[in-house]
């Protein structure tokens, strides 16, 4: 599994309360064709899956569960974020190093300029870290 530093949302980010990813990704402005009154519609991947890896790198202790949301926004302030995908609430007992959240690809509907992750925590974990980013591919053999 290969991760690129410029495509990381979180690099061993401590998750002890609800928080957004350390980084967001700016997908850039869309182009406006010559003689067209409107810009092109964003289509991340153009019908190809874009792999997303959200993996626990330090065991979680304490707390109840964690949910991961993929958020998009038109502005980098994320004043009005749009949730385009979310994992189920994963019980802390399952959040051991190596666990991968079940959001394997950037979903359709990821149509705005800025993207980040939001970690929704229930309870108060005292430890737990996540690394997340767009991956070159997803390992499927374990």
pLDDT in tens, 16-55: 999 999 999 998 888 888 888 888 777 676 677 888 999 9
CATH value of 3-27+48-135 in 3.30.420.10, 2.40.50.140, 2.60.120.1110, 3.30.950.10: 2.60.120.1110
Residues making up the chain, counted from first to last: 142
Q: What is the domain partition of the chain in residue ranges?
A: 3-27+48-135
Is residue 90 a contact partner of residue 63, using CB atoms and an 8 Å limit? no
| Residue 64 region by backbone torsions, left for phi larger than 0, else alpha for psi between -120 and 50, else beta | alpha
Entry pTM: 0.89
pLDDT in tens, 45-71: 667 788 899 999 999 999 999 999 999
Is residue 66 a contact partner of residue 124, using CB atoms and an 8 Å limit? no
């Amino acid at each position: 599994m290969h991760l690129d530093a410029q495509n990381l949302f979180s690099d061993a980010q401590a998750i002890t309360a609800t928080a957004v990813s350390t980084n967001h990704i700016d997908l850039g402005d869309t182009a406006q064709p010559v003689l067209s009154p409107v810009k092109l519609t964003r289509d991340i991947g153009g019908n190809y899956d874009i792999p997303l890896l959200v993996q626990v790198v330090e065991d979680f202790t304490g707390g109840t569960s964690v949910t991961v949301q993929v958020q998009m926004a038109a502005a980098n302030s994320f004043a009005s974020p749009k949730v385009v995908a979310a994992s189920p609430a994963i019980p802390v007992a399952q959040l051991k190093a190596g666990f991968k959240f079940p959001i394997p690809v950037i979903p359709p509907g990821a149509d705005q300029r800025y993207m980040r992750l939001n970690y929704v925590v229930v309870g108060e974990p005292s430890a737990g870290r996540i690394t997340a980013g767009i991956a070159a591919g997803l390992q499927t053999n374990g």
